[in-house]
Structure 1
Amino acid sequence: MTDYKSIFITGGGSGIGRAVAQRFSRGSWFVGLADIDEAGMAETGALLPEGTWSSHKLDVRDPEQWERALKDFHLACGGRIDALANNAGVPLGGMLHDLSIEEIDRTLDINLNGVIYGARAAYPYLKEAGPGSCLVNTCSAAGLYGQGGMTIYCASKFGVRAITESLDIEWAGDGIRVTDVMPSYIDTPLLRHSSHAKSNKPIRESVKSAGLEFTPVEEVAETFWRAVHGSKLHNPIGKTAQLVARAARWMPGYIRSKSRKLVDRGDKLMG
């Protein structure tokens, strides 16, 4: 069995996944990149030292692909998977009545079912590597308090938060730590797209018009590193996420009123 640690990262072809791969590579971990975008994985791999990573084409919506990808990575990394970064996700904004069934199903399949399938498939490997192995899920500030114009996205991220809390309890006896990171707005390629099919406005413009800040993707990657090595269950990232976390706990009336005003003037939050 290998004497170095390894991490399997979904959504490793760009954005947060790429930054997390670079951070763990700097920490001398062997990195497994998983994505449907093979060209993106190759670009990420070119940023990592030779011989310290492997790539695995994976649609997180398919449980059988999960089984194959993790089996292949287990061989590639030398027989030990210390962490899974359940990171793959898609954004979706817009009023519920404006969303198509296809958009709703795709978002829930990737953001929620993909996390469930990944956790289930990774469990025996993490148990084998424990104690001290870790499942880290990409949640969101949208998993802290529901927002208008984000019903389905919030539902998916509330679900990820629930998965994290439930498995933290369920897997404690197996020596597996479970945690999540909760970014607010990260300036990644995902924000170049519109929030949903009926909108032509890029998500980035909506974030700017709402007066919200972008958190550097490097800060998110550093939080992943701390989450895997630390003891916190939830890890909000950035001013917006930290504000929402405090307000949801201590001032729910304030965040409810603030969110309604944002929707009234047409600014949709997207975490």
Structure 2
Amino acid sequence: MTARKAIFITGGASGIGRAIGELFAERGWFVGLADIDTATLAQTRSVLPDGSVSTHGLDVRDRASWDDALADFTNASGGRLDVMANNAGVPLGGALEDNSVAEIERCLDVNLKGAIFGAQAALPFLRASAPCSCLLNTASAAGIYGTSGASVYSATKFGVRALTESLDGEWAEFGIKVRSLMPAFIDTPLLAHAPNQRSNEAIRDRVRAAGLEITPVTEVAKAAWDAVHGERLHTLVGATARRLAFGARWMPGRLRREAAKSARAMGN
């Protein structure tokens, strides 16, 4: 094995995944970027230092494709996988009655099933590089307290949180860390999307109308670095995430009332 550490990141073409890849590459790691969007993936690769990155087309919903992608990555990395970053995800908002069956299934499959498949596929490689290897899951502030107008998305992120907590115990004997990031609204291309097929309003506009902050993506990348190298199980990113965590623990009744108000403000 090469002494150079290696990280594999899903959803690596843009947004949080790209920012994590850039930071880890700057700090001397070999970076594998995986995404279903191979055109944007190629653009991202072009801005990273030569010899520091490999790219892999991957649909995280396809379990067999995980094995192929990780085999290709470890061949490029000299046999190492120190951090598996389960970051791929898709948004889904709006009232539950407005979400189509196809949208619901896609959100569940990418956000939750994809993370489970990624953890399962990465385990042999993480065991080989343990101790100090890490599974890093991108959860969300929506996994702290259920978000009004985003019930399916929240359900997937609660699932990612549960996966993190379950595997933290299950993999302790192997010396593998399991961590999650819980960001709120992050300045990524996903905010330009509509919350669902029945809406033509960008998520960014709804966030601003509700008076919520949008956190720079570089803060998530720094949080990822700290999570991999620290002892905190869940890392909160952004003021909204911190407020939700505080409210869920100390003021649950008030948080319920604010959730209802937020639903009305977001137009759900």
Q: 1:125 maps to which residue?
A: 125
The question of whether the paired residues in 1 share the 8 Å contact of 2:84 and 2:134 is answered with yes
How far off is 1:45 after superposition? 1.2
Q: Which amino acid aligns with 1:103?
A: E
Residue 74 (structure 2) pairs with residue 77 (structure 1): no
- Name 1:155's counterpart in structure 2: 155
Does residue 44 (structure 1) correspond to residue 51 (structure 2)? The answer is no
Letter in 1 for 2:190: L
Residue-by-residue CA offset, 1:74-122 (whole Å, 9 max, x unaligned): 1100001000110000000011111100000000000000000000000
Within 2, Cα distance between the matches of 1:32 and 1:147? Answer: 32
Matches within 5 A, 1:1-271: 1-267=1-267
Which string of whole-angstrom CA distances, capped at 9 and with x for unpartnered residues, describes residues 106-151 of structure 1?
0000000000000000000000000100000000000000122111
2:235 & 2:91 partners in 1: Cα distance? Answer: 20
Match for 2:69: what amino acid?
A: A
- Is the 1:139–1:180 contact (alpha carbons within 8 Å) kept by the matching residues of 2? yes
In structure 1, C-alpha distance between the alignment counterparts of 2:15 and 2:265, rounded to whole Å = 30
| Partner SS for 1:213 | coil
Shift of 1:27: 1.0
Contact between 1:209 and 1:267, CA under 8 Å: does it hold in 2? no
Per-residue Cα deviation, 1:29-63 (whole angstroms, up to 9, x for no partner): 00001001112111211221101110010000000
Q: For 1:187 and 1:254, how far apart are their aligned partners in 2?
A: 28
- Give the superposition deviation at 1:181: 0.4
Amino acid at match of 1:82: D
How far the C-alpha of 1:215 sits from its partner, in A, is 0.5
Letter in 2 for 1:123: L
Give the secondary structure class of the aligned counterpart of 1:160.
helix
SS in 1 for 2:198: coil
Q: 1:265 offset after TM fit, Å? A: 3.3
Q: Shift in Å at residue 264 of structure 1?
A: 2.4
Contact 1:210–1:267 (Cα < 8 Å) also in 2: no
5+ unaligned residues in a row in structure 1: which ranges? none
Instruction: Work out the CA distance in 1 between the residues paired with 2:107 and 2:197.
Output: 13
Q: Report the TM-score when normalising by structure 2.
A: 0.99
- Corresponding letter in the other structure for 2:6: S
Q: Distance in 2 between matches of 1:13 and 1:228?
A: 21
Give aligned pairs, total.
268
Local SS of the residue matching 1:134: strand
Tell which deviates more after alignment, 257-266 or 58-67.
257-266
Provide the rounded CA distance (Å) in 2 between the counterparts of 1:28 and 1:237. Answer: 24
Distance, in Å, in 1 between the alignment partners of 2:217 and 2:264 is 30
Name the CA distance, whole Å, in 2 between partners of 1:126 and 1:42.
26
Gaps of 5+ in 2: none
1:219 counterpart SS class: helix
Structure 2 letter corresponding to 1:24: F
Deviation, structure 1 residue 266? 3.6
